[in-house]
Amino acid sequence: MGKAAVLIGIDQPLEIRDDVDVDAPHAGEVKVRMAASGVCHSDLSMQNGTIMAGMPPIVLGHEGAGVIEEVGPGVTKLAPGDHVVISWVPQCGECYFCTRGQPQLCEQGGIAMATGGLLDGTPRLKSQGAPLPQMAASGTFSEITVVPEIGAVKIPADFDLKLAALIGCGVLTGAGAAMNTAQIHQGDTVAVVGCGGVGLNVIQGARIAGATEIIAVDMNETKLALAKEFGATATVNASQGDPVSQVMEMTGQRGADVAFEVIGLQQTIDQTITMTRRGGQAILVGVPKMDAMINIPAFFGVVFSEKTIKGCWYGSSDVQRDVPKLIDLYQKGQLKLDELVSRTITLEQVNEAFDAMKTGEVARSVIKY
Ligand SMILES: [Zn+2]
Ligand SMILES: [Zn+2]
């Protein structure tokens, strides 16, 4: 029996259950004893009903790292004792998308996202005598979980598992948006709208990718100060005047070469596209409500201005390639991870982490098991 934080209904606090049974891993699955889990904005979006990836009751959490305890039949790449980062998009390496270099869109990952189960649609957790679904084939708010073998990435055993957890979502998504999804050229001017946990990673990814001017846009001065530590060269406080005209002014009325939206709001999506220069790229990273629309004039906004508007899912990451790459960048001092952790908490404090996110907390709360 183990503990887990369970969403029992929309807008309700997560319930800490201590009766969670974990089945043995099936073929192609691994059982992981979690060491740490970040509390990500997408967990909050599940809690408040903005996104639906399985129905309550469901164990949330998708940004985690831990140690393999047991492997199911047919598992060849992982063994008990291995340290792993959870990938909330399992990447099979064989489907239409994986074989075309877009494993972030893996067909297997889509199944996991929709059902609240693993790749066969069923979860391995049980509570109160019933199967307990797992968010994104993960469920990292459980002390022990089972994930697909293709949803776990082996990392060096001496790497801090608390920092590794953050790589699993926020860092892969943010840094990946800048290093994979966008094409940033040496000397580019980049704007980043939204400087929370993912936005900070977009900023440091843009710096690594060669951007020399990075304009951070947010309404929270504390977040803007942190953005500077992560590589922003200028800041725009969107509560003090129109952010688009401020960015236009800073770029000689041309707009940013690449602009990232990292909030997921209809208004900031439109603003981000508008502040992108002619011929530039607008990268949409934040997860909007299911009924949000983009409202951009087709002629001046896209055709005449020849802008690329591109969605970004999981930082266009190939997790087997990118997790080791990000660890390497950290070890070389080029990628900040420690500074992303604003609070280390227990599983029981998970609702406090949700409250902190609602009031605009900087960076991340991380559960340490
Ligand atoms: Zn996340
Ligand atoms: Zn695939």
- Domains of the chain and CATH, by start: 2-170+316-368 (3.90.180.10), 183-311 (3.40.50.720)
Residues within 5 Å of ion ligand 1 by Cβ?
40, 42, 169
Counting ligands in written order, the one closest to the CA of 285 is: 1
The ligand placed nearest to the CA atom of residue 166 is: 1
Whether pLDDT at 113 is above 90: no
Residue 360 binned pLDDT confidence (cut-offs 50, 70, 90): confident
Ligand nearest to the CA of 39: 1
| Ligand 2 mean position, distance from CA 193 (Å) | 31
Q: Give the ligand with the smallest distance to the CA of 135.
A: 1
- Which-ligand-closest: CA of 88? 1
Instruction: Summarize the confidence of residues 319-346 as an average pLDDT.
Output: 97
Q: Are 157 and 96 in contact (CB under 8 A)?
A: no
Task: Confirm if 170 and 198 have CB atoms less than 8 A apart.
Answer: yes
Residue list, CB under 5 A from ion ligand 2: 92, 95, 98, 106
What's the average model confidence in pLDDT over 178-194?
98
pLDDT band at 152 (very low <50, low <70, confident <90, very high): very high
Per-residue pLDDT at 73 exceeds 80: yes
Closest ligand to 105 CA? Answer: 2
Give the integer Cα–Cα distance in Å for 54 and 101.
27
Q: What is the pLDDT of residue 111?
A: 76
Q: What is the distance in A from the centroid of ligand 2 to the CA of 35?
A: 27
pTM assigned to the model: 0.96
Q: How far is the CA of 231 from the centre of ligand 1 (A)?
A: 22
Those residues with Cβ within 8 angstroms of residue 316's Cβ, 6 or more apart along the chain or in another chain: 102, 104, 176, 177, 180, 181
Give the ligand whose atoms come closest to the C-alpha of residue 169: 1
67 neighbors 130 (Cβ within 8 angstroms): no
State the Cα–Cα distance between residues 48 and 63, nearest whole angstrom: 18
283 CA from centroid of ligand 1 (Å):
17
- Kind and range of the H or E run holding 244: helix 243-250
pLDDT tens readout for residues 194-249: 999 999 999 999 999 999 999 999 999 999 999 999 999 999 999 999 999 999 99
pLDDT at 1: 86
pLDDT band (50, 70, 90) for residue 103: very high
Average pLDDT over residues 2-18: 97
Ligand 1 mean position, distance from CA 120 (Å): 23
| Ligand with smallest separation from the Cα of 41 | 1
Contact 201, 236 (CB under 8 A): no
Distance 181 CA to ligand 2 centre (A): 18
Instruction: State in Å: Cα 126 to ligand 1 middle.
Output: 23
Position 359 pLDDT exceeds 90: no
Distance 64 CA to ligand 1 centre (A): 10
Query: Predicted confidence band at 114 (pLDDT cuts at 50, 70, 90)?
Result: confident
- Residue 45 confidence (pLDDT): 92
What is the 298 CA–ligand 1 centroid distance (Å)?
32
Q: Is the pLDDT assigned to residue 67 strictly greater than 90?
A: yes
Mean pLDDT of the residues in the chain: 96
Instruction: Compute the distance from residue 293 Cα to the ligand 2 centre, in Å.
Output: 29
Residue of 248, 243, 211, 249 whose CA lies nearest to 230: 211
Residues 260-308 have pLDDT tens digits of 999 999 999 999 999 999 999 999 999 999 899 999 999 999 999 999 9
Residue 361 clears pLDDT 90, i.e. is over it: no
Ligand number with the minimum distance to the CA of 264 = 1
Identify the three-state secondary structure at position 230.
coil
Q: How many residues does the chain have?
A: 369
Q: Given the DSSP bridges, would you call strands 29-39 and 364-368 parallel, antiparallel or unpaired?
A: antiparallel
